[in-house]
Amino acid sequence: MTTAQRPTLEAVARRAGVSRATVSRVVNGSTTVAEEIQEAVRRAVAELGYVPNLAARTLVTQRTDSIALIMPEAATRVFSDDQVFPGIIQGVSQELEAADKQLVLMLAGSAAGHDRVERYTLGRHVDGVLFASLHGADPLPGTLARAGIPAVCSGRPLDDSVPYVDVDHLGGVSRAVAYLLDAGRQRIATIAGPQDMVAGIERLAGYRDTLAAAGHPPLVAVGDFTRESGAAAMRQLLDRHPDLDAVFAASDLMAHGALRTLREAGRRVPDDVAVIGFDDIEMAAYTDPPLTTVRQPIKEIGREMTRLLLRMATGQPFEQTVILPTELVIRESA
Amino acid sequence: MTTAQRPTLEAVARRAGVSRATVSRVVNGSTTVAEEIQEAVRRAVAELGYVPNLAARTLVTQRTDSIALIMPEAATRVFSDDQVFPGIIQGVSQELEAADKQLVLMLAGSAAGHDRVERYTLGRHVDGVLFASLHGADPLPGTLARAGIPAVCSGRPLDDSVPYVDVDHLGGVSRAVAYLLDAGRQRIATIAGPQDMVAGIERLAGYRDTLAAAGHPPLVAVGDFTRESGAAAMRQLLDRHPDLDAVFAASDLMAHGALRTLREAGRRVPDDVAVIGFDDIEMAAYTDPPLTTVRQPIKEIGREMTRLLLRMATGQPFEQTVILPTELVIRESA
DNA sequence: CCCTGTCGTGAGAGCGCTCTCTCAGAGCGC
DNA sequence: GCGCTCTGAGAGAGCGCTCTCACGACAGGG
């Protein structure tokens, strides 16, 4: 334990022959300080290797210069290989880096974990809170909003309590289904996601609407975004509708599971059954056959959430809703 | 902005009819306070919804109760779908939660990002630093160690400057290769990982050693842990050694790429060529055929790193090195 | 020439907490 | 009954910073 006492403002001030206040002004970029004094202060800072003590600053400014990113640890989507998790983090991180703020990551798994998150965020230990893939109707965003703590969700919160960033699920799904229809597919089924998550709900709605508009009946099985659930749902669909000739899966992972089931059932893809997924994860290009899918800009979600939050935190005008575009990526499965 | 003034120690003290010091004692779990007074204080805390101001506490205790996890943003391994990243975070997070500390996540991509990490960690804004998959010979761990700031790496740092946690690469690889030998494979090739990363180096060494001990010549191609590189390396190997009958790939992603190349080349797996990967990522169970691979306990790495760091930070005795076991998972590709 | 305004700097008061030091009072031996 | 130790609680000093306010110097207008 080297106890090399770190230099304080005081030390810098003495060395530069000015007052603490002046050093503070220079360090924080005030323009009202004479050029040569600024120079002297900066030299002293460099010579002493001065680094401001954030705790002391926080104590008086009431800013922490850090924001929390809350992720539900248990959520299937988060820790499987669908890359939503790393993608969002990466986006958030980039945007925070530009703003010179810190990222405090909290995985809220257990009930105890949730309490901890609540204590920490409501205790104003961060300047704002980002929620990634909310599970159901968590009251925390609303609570934070009421406490005046900026918060942003990814995906529309069920109670509309805070601003959110989401992708155009409906548009993406609609394009995917339209593509299948254009290709002459007659019996288009879907493997839907969990119906307590916005992504699950919206993607199913998009499927229903587009199909209804074309006068086709919906063929629905429900999964939970995982491969296993996709494989199981596919079996169910084949049982109930042996004549289906296309499937839209609400996640690439489920599409992957479906692909396996189809192969086991002896159906050729895309000849017998066309398959389209959603997400465009890394793996989608490497399935057999490569997966046609709806790409969503995950990293952008993280970035937009962060931008929105920072605007809220600094009192700038901000939108209640940001919707990012999705895109149909054509490969070989459809 | 609701400016509901948050209650301070002072307020709690007044309400409970005691001094600030006593409230502090109760809040921090000192035992030298009479039971009924503790009770009164706790009631006041609950009634007022008091939450300690961490910044104020940090200012005097010099503890921040948070630790930094540094990840190289650019590293191929980190943001592809090999799940090393989420796995480590999850492990770290669980262990920190138990210790009631916060996780500050920093992605050090650019040179500017690296500077930022250095300033932040050397500025003692965290109680300790965790490095995930170091790239080459980063001097930062050593610098931190010299500054008396606890740090732990995943994988042996090239300069041995700080304690580290790693898995038993050699043992795992050795078991995999021995398994291939036992199955009567004669021409066993490897797709190695990048040779500037410990994981890449050690896994290749394990392959060489085991093969040499059995009197077989090494057949080596080098990749960078990604699918594409695995596919390319496999092509190279088939070109150079058309008679090979087994491949050990240093990552599942590369094994996946190799699988595709082998299929394109008309080789059957495992009949013509046996394939073994390393990592046991989620996807390994879903390749065609399902991948035999060496499992490494990623989440445990995160947990062990954190435990080690916390021990260092609290001045308890700690090991310089923790090696976690690997395990051969037999599926169908070998 | 004085008064007012402007600009740049310093003095000093806290921000909310912990921790040392002090002190009151209880218990006990002689 | 005196003085000792011991326990439990309070007083008060700061941790390092920001920010308001005051103040001196100088310029310009009356």
| Predicted local confidence at residue B2, as pLDDT | 40
- CA distances to A173, A248, A256, A262, B17 from A245, rounded to whole Å, are 17, 11, 17, 11, 76
For residues A129 and A197, membership in a common domain is answered with: no
Does A129 fall in a domain?
yes
| Predicted local confidence at residue B33, as pLDDT | 79
CB contact under 8 A, B93 and A83: no
For residues B16 and B117, membership in a common domain is answered with: no
For residues B219 and B241, membership in a common domain is answered with: yes
Whether A20 CB is under 7 Å from strand D? yes
CB contact under 8 A, B100 and A80: no
Residuewise pLDDT in 10s, chain B (334 residues): 344 568 899 888 888 888 888 889 888 887 777 888 888 889 989 989 899 999 999 999 999 999 999 988 765 455 667 778 888 999 999 999 999 999 999 988 777 778 889 889 988 899 999 998 766 678 888 889 988 899 999 988 877 889 999 999 999 999 999 999 999 999 999 999 999 888 899 999 999 999 999 999 999 999 999 999 999 999 999 999 999 999 999 999 999 999 999 999 999 999 999 999 999 998 999 898 999 999 999 999 999 999 999 999 988 899 999 999 999 999 999 9
Dihedrals phi, psi of A158, to nearest 5 degrees = -60, -30
Question: Which of A105, A124, A263, A298 is most worth mutating to test chain B (most B CB atoms within 10 A of its CB)?
Answer: A105
For residues B156 and B174, membership in a common domain is answered with: no
The whole-number average pLDDT for the span A110-114 is 74
H or E stretch at A79: helix A76-79
Show the DSSP H helices in chain B as ranges.
9-16, 20-27, 35-48, 54-61, 76-79, 84-99, 111-122, 140-146, 169-182, 198-213, 227-240, 252-264, 298-313
For residues A215 and A126, membership in a common domain is answered with: no
| Predicted local confidence at residue A92, as pLDDT | 94
CATH code, domain with A277: 3.40.50.2300
For residues A290 and A302, membership in a common domain is answered with: no
Instruction: Using the C1' atom of nucleotide D13, identify the protein residue whose alpha carbon is closest.
Output: B60
Does B333 fall in a domain?
no
Nearest residue, CB atoms, B288 vs list A52, A227, A288: A288
Shortest distance, CA B210 to any CA of chain A (angstroms): 32
For residues B312 and B217, membership in a common domain is answered with: no
Structural domain count of chain A = 3
- The protein footprint on chain D, as nucleotides within 7 A of a CB, is 7-20
Does A333 fall in a domain?
no
For residues A174 and A291, membership in a common domain is answered with: yes
For residues B132 and B197, membership in a common domain is answered with: no
Q: Is B111 on the interface with A (CB under 8 A)?
A: no
* Cα separation, B282 vs A81, whole angstroms: 7
Q: Is A116 on the interface with B (CB under 8 A)?
A: yes
Shortest distance, CA B35 to any CA of chain A (angstroms): 25
Nearest residue, CB atoms, A90 vs list B107, B283, B315: B107
For residues B187 and B99, membership in a common domain is answered with: no
Does B266 fall in a domain?
yes
Mean predicted lDDT score pLDDT of chain A: 90
CB A107, CB A132: distance < 8 Å: no
CATH code, domain with A22: 1.10.260.40
For residues A265 and A178, membership in a common domain is answered with: yes
Q: Is B125 on the interface with A (CB under 8 A)?
A: yes
**Residue A285's domain spans which residues?**
169-295
**Residue carrying the six token digits 């690296």:** B114
What are the residues whose beta carbons fall under 8 Å from the beta carbon of B209, sequence distance 6 or more? B170, B174
Measuring from the CA of residue B13 to each C1', which nucleotide is nearest? Answer: D10
Nearest residue, CB atoms, A86 vs list B85, B125, B315: B85
The whole-number average pLDDT for the span A313-326 is 93
For residues B190 and B277, membership in a common domain is answered with: yes
Does B3 fall in a domain?
no
A:B CB pairs within 8 Å:
137
- The protein footprint on chain C, as nucleotides within 7 A of a CB, is 7-20
Does B331 fall in a domain?
no
Using only C-alpha atoms, chain B has a radius of gyration, in whole angstroms, of 26
Does A185 fall in a domain?
yes
Does B329 fall in a domain?
no
Rounded to whole angstroms, the distance from the CA of residue B33 to the C1' of nucleotide D2 is: 30
